Structure 1
Amino acid sequence: MKTWICLLLCLSTLSLRVSAQRLDSLTIEQIMSDPKWIGTSPSDPFWSPDGQKLYFSWNPEQAAEDSLYYITLPNHEPVKASPAERLQALAQRSGTYDRKFQNLVYSQQGQIYWLHIATHRLRQITHTAEVAYHPVFAFHEQKIVFQQGDNLFAWDTATGELSQLTLFVHAEKSGQASHLSPQAAFLEKDALENSVVLQQRKQRITEEKQAQQNLNSFRNLPDSIFIGSQRVAGLNISPDGRFITYQLVKEPRDVQRTIIPEYVTQSGYTETIPGRTKVGAPQPEMHMWIYDRLRDTTYEVDTHDMPGIHDKPDYLKDYPSEDSAWDAHPPFRQVIVNGPLWSPESPTDGSSHALVVVRSQDNKDRWIMEMHPETGKLTLIDRQRDEAWIAGPGIGWNYSMGNVGWVNDHICWFQSETTGYSHLYLYDLQTHQKRALTSGQYEVQSAILSRDAKSFYITTNAVEPGQTQFYRLDIASGKQTQLTHQEGGNRVELSPDEKWLAVLHSFSNHPWELFLQRNDPAARPEQITHLAESPLFRSYPWRAPEIITFTDRDGYRVYARLFRPKQPAPTHPGVLFVHGAGYLQDAMKWWSDYYFREYMFENLLADHGYTVMDVDYRGSAGYGRDWRTAIYRHMGGKDLDDEVDAARFMVDSLDVDAHHIGIWGGSYGGFMTLMALFTQPGVFKCGAALRSVTDWAHYNHGYTSNILNEPYTDSLAYKRSSPIYFAAGLQDHLLMCHGMEDTNVHFQDIVRLTEKLIELGKDNWELAVYPLEDHEFKDASSWTDEYKRIFRLFETNLK
């Protein structure tokens, strides 16, 4: 308590010291300085297993990094956790509960611990040099199963006996068919036929392997599972301990990876940062296998009979030869099997069902399947197909299951965009009936099942696209009860006993603070933290931007944030900010964790007489599947149309001069700025493109292949979406800024475009480079330099 009082006194003294300072006007140096001047917001709240402590990251001391703080239910005064408590709390957060939530197992610093929650009795299970992780309860909760290396081990909670459950061997099984090429197989056979010594050595190796197998049997070790050069991933055990599932991953060979030169180094030499692959690079092959311990046998999960496994993507119609080749020999599409997720054990026979989520590597299908572990066969529960790509809130990506779970031993739940918006569904494996729990033109952005399995707790944007609220959804009746009511953004962590809500709340011009509220729609939230806004930050009248809509050329209602100047500059200039992609939203009523600097710059622009808009163009988050996928096969198409229509709306409705409109953005926003200036000359007088993709064939696979397929299968999509092909259209003034150590959008992108502009004889552009910056700038001096250049660009060309 003394420490906390001293801290408050220090903060009070600091407040008095800066109270005389006021932000009568904004400067770029101020808004782009270390963001600690704004204040300190809490983040990432979570509860202790017994629900008596609420932890959160916070930095009231203005240290280099956040620390872990907590409050207790009896005492709501924040206390800084000790280093030891921080380690334990974070480890327990990632642990696994038993069915009744009475026990928790977790890994901390490579050792396994078992916590009895009610009594706080803690027992260390392992004391080994080799790291142990991923502990779960299995064998009808009589054993704790964990992973060390590539293998699973079981520890008996009654006897303390430790047993090994798997033994993966990176070698080929004797007699197993060779994976050599025909030429290599011929040479090996020829070598053996011509050397008795080689034949003897091969025989000796075979005998040694058999002797090892016999020794393992004598030592009561499991039989070896030979996996050759493949990698083991995703080890999982059924609740009864009979079935172990695992992924065998075959990495592609000779895949070229990028490198990023690092010029400013301590050594004085140019060094290199290892990079990623580019879109279209060969992807790992993944196959799920089952080890039946009862029958001592392994077999692969069979995906060949899944409905639609041969389905052809529509875009092949643009490539007649590939289209007809597919028809002649329909391939089995490559898939990734995620899971399994085991149901609660049946109260009658102790058996379990298993769910797997199968994703096609071409991104166009997601199958939720029941897996029959005795055979490896799959039965369809739900299939979602999209000729663009499968994604959205709760849906997940290629290597995740998304939001899927069990209500009881025969009813599962999941989220799907089948109606165009991500909603919550139940499926009964006995009746084969699917039931929608939510519906409407809004998104369920998160969902968790209550511990009594009678309700869901969901976060949605049902009130409006740019606002999130938290609800309790009764499964039997379908009734939703709104639990949070503060306007803006609400991120909620439910306590283990479900009696309390930890709420992070913010508004568009007020950063996040932490609140505590009883789980009652009539309860008033109590504010726990109060330091998100420093006195200096509060001294400026930050605008709460208007959320407006306009109608685009295709008749859609487009949402945007609007910053109006008190007095427009004489030329009535306007500026559009284009947010990044990856699936983002900016026309919202909460404080942006990512774009707070841009928000402050928008205020500065408005102070200088600019009308500023920030548009949720097609492709943005928050508006459902069709809005998200409108950019399929043409980035810089419908999304750019919305930005152009926003510029026309500014002219028609906001008293902006059509000859004095600028545009700027970073990453995808930088790409959009380039496309705007290259393909829509005259609409924007100038633009600033930051860390921009200039050629999508050089970006990563996971993001790009979703939207544009692959360069060698859909070259048309890449050519019409890449600014480098349209650089000849540049007529207006262009500023480009890029970090030279950018590991996301590589510096090579902007260098290639620069060469293209030089070859085209263009002279109305400039490039600013930042030798020590990655994709997300870190240093205040870089932010300041970049935004001084942007402001000068606008002042010079729009006034």
Structure 2
Amino acid sequence: MKLRLATAALGIASAVLYPAISTAASTAASASTSAHASPAVPEQPTLELIMSDPDWIGNAPQSPHWSDDGGSVYYRQKREGEDFSDLYRLALDADSAQKVDETTAPADSGRDKVYSADRSAVAWLRQGDVYLRHLPDGVIRRVTATASDESQLRFSSDGRRLSFLRDGQFFAYGLDTATTAQLTDLREEDDPDAEPAFDVLRAHQLRNYRTVVETLRREDSAAQATGERDLRPPPIYLGDEYRVLERQLSPGHRQLALVVTARNGDAGRKGSMPNYVNADGYVSVREVRTRVGRNTQSPQTLLLVDLDSGSITPVDFGSLPGIDEDPLARLRKSALEWHTARGADREQVKAALAAPARRDISVTGLAWSPDGRHLVAQITANDFKDRWLVTLDSEEDDAPAPRLQHRLRDSAWINWAYNEFGWLRDSRRLWFLSEESGYSHLYLKAIDERRARALTGGDFVVREPAIDPAENFAYVVANRAHPGNYEVYRVPLAGGDLQQVSDLDGVSSFSLSPAGDRLLILRSWYDRHADLYLGASDGSGELRQLTDTVSARYDSIDWNVPEIVEVPSSHVNRPIYSKLYLPPDHDPAKSYPAVMFVHGAGYTQNAHMGWPYYFREFMFHTVLANAGFVVLDMDYRASKGYGSDWRTAIYRQMGHPELEDYLDGIDYLVESQGVDRQRVGIYGGSYGGFMSFMALFRAPEAFAAGAALRPVADWMHYENDYTRRILNTPLVDPEAYQKSSPINHVEGLQRPLLIASGMQDDNVFFQDSVLMVQRLLELKKPDFEIAIYPLDGHGFTNPESWLDEYRRIYKLMQENLQ
């Protein structure tokens, strides 16, 4: 069964129900819907309007969550004209939402809450402090009121204590005693009282001076007596060789899992970023990230600390399958010849390329079982070719040996998404996401059984898993019906079919009610940002819309809602899903110019049915379409939502498969939409700016003009975790960087190019654009310009900068395509 929209609640007939829900939504509309009055004459969007502060659109509900009794929902909403949000409470039997006074004591728990095992208590963080509610009587206690921020809330396995982390140490609050005790005193230094190493002079002094010996004995005796009376935890000294990256306390409060790395590890040289526009009139400089391959990506170690004895045990991952292999061996040999052929000293390069005896790893996730006996660790190889899930039994007498639960391998790279995992209450079964089938799916595995069981499967993506309180179902968001349509589904944990429980075309996320019987859905559509809906978790009955936060002014404009089309590919046996915007009264028998948009992030999805991350570009495409342009926005190879093969097609060749897809897009536009092949432009930001470079440099005959916004010019200047996955490192895989960096293809530029960059961009450095300009100057390329924005970063915040940038793009396309 599927939840369907309650058309009666919307006051419209089901025969004309439009998925965007453009009418007034429900009687429970948001109290803070924008107050713009609807104009008498429909307004036409202008660049000034669509690039202004987006408050004029209305502000969507954010971070929705349930009240403790399930009778209300809460959400945050950005305050108009400000950079912060307010909290609202919407009673499900009320007509409107009410703003919550956050200076008073809370009436309900917050969004990121934790429950005791018997669900008699709930705890949450509010402005960095800990709150606790006893659910049977509703009494709320404020557990902490400190200047420090607490985190990592967790109830003990016996349900009698609530632990939290503060300033690197764990504390426990007794639910019965209402007292707080410190559980750990972890120190990243050597033990000052440790027995010193043999020293000949010290030995001489102790042999000859009885008074010195007696003084030391008395000091030790006093310290021991004081320690026996001291209720505080004894210090545990890690030594000064480690730097702690993460810490997780077991539910029994007996053990601590620590992820550490070498304190003296090479972090790499950081970049510097100047700011020329400051209140004091001086230039300020800040440090920013390192570059790919310029640090050693220090390996990590997992330590298990026994809080009773103070013993510290490193976990040996040498038994992991494949840990002693070198998946980069072939590339190392090729790199040696590549660097040597270009003048490098062979022996120096050979030494630098030497593979480690064992692959370095990072600990990318930890979770203790509810009973505190087992720890599950997610281990990722630093070359990103392997991901292992292992469990450790804390009751083993010797050092716990990792027990492999799952191995995910990828010859390209392990995804940074779809890695969620967790325990069921029985402390015996794990659930996790894996792309082993080629798509992200949900699996269940008992830790004492050999194989995992797939709960979902097929050529679609599953994400955002949540287990219902009764542990009968796993709820997920999936694009099973269409790659761009994300609905809510559930699957029985005992096994069975995937059941669709929402029928709201678009893009949805959800939150289960405390009882698990209802769904709070945050759903958006092509031309409407997300609003809240309510329905039964089994999909029965009708769906009720709770908020309608789109402004009347935005709603009055006739936006060009795109169609998702399947562009035929000449390189792979599947279509390229794309958003197509057509001019009013489009006639494919006529001749049109076209603008191709390239979404950023590389790995994201934009050809979906929801409100886009690139909402300004969506509105800009209406302006372009109204001016007579056809616009195509493609989910090229590397985009999210289409499985691992689509994602990894760019491995070691960024900018090549994607360009092939855009050239197929031109063929599609020419053959079916009346586009003139000689009048096609391209633009995009971030990865889209990189691709605009590659398009103009590598296929200059195909594009009449292009705009590269906040663009990557040279991947050797980008950050480590992203770039190393796709291109390895410049040392190990120089050919991939040579092939993939636009700076190496500038000679091909023949058509007008606009470069636009924010000077405070700490993601893609402004330096990339400067280097590109220098290369263009050296090659004497005549037809380019650069626009700089002194106070903006990667994502612009100043409306004036947005307006200037898109005026330039519009002018570029008008002058070169019309």
What TM-score, normalized to structure 2?
Answer: 0.87
Q: Which amino acid aligns with 1:316?
A: R
Which of 305, 317, 332 in structure 1 is aligned with 2:358? 332
2:173–2:180 CA contact under 8 A, matched in 1:
yes
Q: Which amino acid aligns with 2:598?
A: V
Separation of aligned partners in 1, 2:217 and 2:652: 54
* Paired position in structure 2 for 1:650: 669
* Paired position in structure 2 for 1:398: none
Structure 2 residue matching 1:68: 3-state secondary structure: strand
Instruction: Please list the CA deviations of residues 445-495 of structure 1 after superposition, one character each: whole Å capped at 9, or x if unmatched.
Output: 221111111111111000100001101211224122211102212221211
Counterparts of 1:359-374 in structure 2, within 5 Å, are: 359-373=380-394, 374=396
Structure 2 residue matching 1:645: 3-state secondary structure: helix
Separation of aligned partners in 2, 1:456 and 1:102: 22
Determine if the alignment matches structure 1 residue 157 to structure 2 residue 183: no
* Paired position in structure 2 for 1:248: 260
2:184–2:307 CA contact under 8 A, matched in 1:
no
Alpha-carbon distance, 1:21 to partner: 4.5
* Paired position in structure 1 for 2:481: 463
Separation of aligned partners in 2, 1:352 and 1:689: 54
Determine if the alignment matches structure 1 residue 226 to structure 2 residue 237: yes
Separation of aligned partners in 2, 1:87 and 1:706: 44
Which of 700, 711, 720 in structure 2 is aligned with 1:692? 711
Counterparts of 1:710-789 in structure 2, within 5 Å, are: 710-789=729-808
1:244–1:293 CA contact under 8 A, matched in 2:
yes
Determine if the alignment matches structure 1 residue 542 to structure 2 residue 556: no
Separation of aligned partners in 2, 1:9 and 1:562: 35
Alpha-carbon distance, 1:427 to partner: 1.0
Which of 608, 615, 620 in structure 1 is aligned with 2:639? 620
Structure 1 residue matching 2:110: 3-state secondary structure: helix
Separation of aligned partners in 2, 1:115 and 1:144: 11
* Paired position in structure 2 for 1:316: 330
* Paired position in structure 2 for 1:491: 509
Structure 2 residue matching 1:404: 3-state secondary structure: strand
Q: 1:454 to 1:257 in 2, by over 3 A?
A: same
Separation of aligned partners in 2, 1:768 and 1:219: 65
Counterparts of 1:60-99 in structure 2, within 5 Å, are: 65-84=84-103, 92-99=110-117
Q: 1:75 to 1:35 in 2, by over 3 A?
A: same
Counterparts of 1:497-536 in structure 2, within 5 Å, are: 497-532=515-550, 534-536=551-553
Which of 42, 46, 50 in structure 2 is aligned with 1:22? 42
Which of 266, 269, 272 in structure 1 is aligned with 2:285? 272
Q: 1:730 to 1:528 in 2, by over 3 A?
A: same
Q: 1:113 to 1:505 in 2, by over 3 A?
A: closer
Among the aligned pairs, what percent are the same residue? Answer: 35
More off after superposition, 78-87 vs 558-567:
78-87
Separation of aligned partners in 2, 1:585 and 1:540: 26
Q: Note the residue ranges of structure 2 that are not aligned, 5 or more in a row.
A: 1-26, 338-349
Separation of aligned partners in 1, 2:405 and 2:595: 49
Separation of aligned partners in 1, 2:593 and 2:216: 80
1:668–1:692 CA contact under 8 A, matched in 2:
yes
1:290–1:299 CA contact under 8 A, matched in 2:
yes
What TM-score, normalized to structure 1?
Answer: 0.89
Determine if the alignment matches structure 1 residue 677 to structure 2 residue 691: no
Separation of aligned partners in 2, 1:162 and 1:143: 9
Separation of aligned partners in 2, 1:380 and 1:206: 49
* Paired position in structure 2 for 1:292: 306
Separation of aligned partners in 2, 1:13 and 1:127: 38
1:741–1:775 CA contact under 8 A, matched in 2:
yes
* Paired position in structure 2 for 1:581: 601
Which of 227, 235, 242 in structure 2 is aligned with 1:216? 227
Counterparts of 1:390-409 in structure 2, within 5 Å, are: 390-391=414-415, 393-395=417-419, 402-406=420-424, 408-409=426-427
Separation of aligned partners in 1, 2:715 and 2:186: 40
Determine if the alignment matches structure 1 residue 261 to structure 2 residue 280: no
Separation of aligned partners in 2, 1:36 and 1:327: 53
Alpha-carbon distance, 1:224 to partner: 2.8
* Paired position in structure 2 for 1:53: 72
Separation of aligned partners in 2, 1:792 and 1:129: 52
Q: Which amino acid aligns with 2:183?
A: L
Separation of aligned partners in 1, 2:30 and 2:759: 42
1:471–1:480 CA contact under 8 A, matched in 2:
yes
Separation of aligned partners in 2, 1:666 and 1:481: 38
Determine if the alignment matches structure 1 residue 798 to structure 2 residue 812: no
Which of 243, 249, 263 in structure 2 is aligned with 1:237? 249
* Paired position in structure 1 for 2:158: 140
Separation of aligned partners in 1, 2:605 and 2:614: 10
Instruction: Please list the CA deviations of residues 220-268 of structure 1 after superposition, one character each: whole Å capped at 9, or x if unmatched.
Output: 4444322233333433222333222222333435632112110111111
Separation of aligned partners in 1, 2:434 and 2:35: 53
Determine if the alignment matches structure 1 residue 428 to structure 2 residue 446: yes
Separation of aligned partners in 1, 2:473 and 2:218: 60
Determine if the alignment matches structure 1 residue 355 to structure 2 residue 376: yes
* Paired position in structure 1 for 2:5: none
Which of 279, 297, 303 in structure 2 is aligned with 1:283? 297
Alpha-carbon distance, 1:633 to partner: 1.2
Instruction: Please list the CA deviations of residues 118-155 of structure 1 after superposition, one character each: whole Å capped at 9, or x if unmatched.
Output: 32212233456655443322252222222232222333
More off after superposition, 371-380 vs 457-466:
371-380
Alpha-carbon distance, 1:296 to partner: 4.2
Alpha-carbon distance, 1:783 to partner: 1.0
Alpha-carbon distance, 1:567 to partner: 4.2
Alpha-carbon distance, 1:430 to partner: 2.8
1:515–1:528 CA contact under 8 A, matched in 2:
yes
Q: 1:716 to 1:371 in 2, by over 3 A?
A: same
Q: 1:19 to 1:96 in 2, by over 3 A?
A: same
* Paired position in structure 1 for 2:17: none
Q: 1:642 to 1:153 in 2, by over 3 A?
A: same
Q: Which amino acid aligns with 1:250?
A: A
Alignment RMSD (CA, Å): 3.4
1:458–1:470 CA contact under 8 A, matched in 2:
yes
Which of 307, 320, 331 in structure 2 is aligned with 1:306? 320
Structure 1 residue matching 2:797: 3-state secondary structure: coil
Separation of aligned partners in 2, 1:391 and 1:798: 39
Structure 2 residue matching 1:627: 3-state secondary structure: helix
Alpha-carbon distance, 1:45 to partner: 1.1
1:443–1:461 CA contact under 8 A, matched in 2:
yes
Instruction: Please list the CA deviations of residues 558-582 of structure 1 after superposition, one character each: whole Å capped at 9, or x if unmatched.
Output: 1111111224797521111000025
* Paired position in structure 1 for 2:578: 560
Q: 1:135 to 1:331 in 2, by over 3 A?
A: same
* Paired position in structure 2 for 1:602: 621
Q: 1:210 to 1:663 in 2, by over 3 A?
A: farther
Q: 1:291 to 1:207 in 2, by over 3 A?
A: farther
1:141–1:239 CA contact under 8 A, matched in 2:
no
Structure 2 residue matching 1:40: 3-state secondary structure: coil
Separation of aligned partners in 1, 2:352 and 2:800: 55
Higher relative contact order (CA 8 A, sep 6+): 2
Alpha-carbon distance, 1:58 to partner: 2.4
1:369–1:379 CA contact under 8 A, matched in 2:
yes
Separation of aligned partners in 1, 2:621 and 2:220: 70
More off after superposition, 644-653 vs 316-325:
316-325
More off after superposition, 330-339 vs 254-263:
330-339
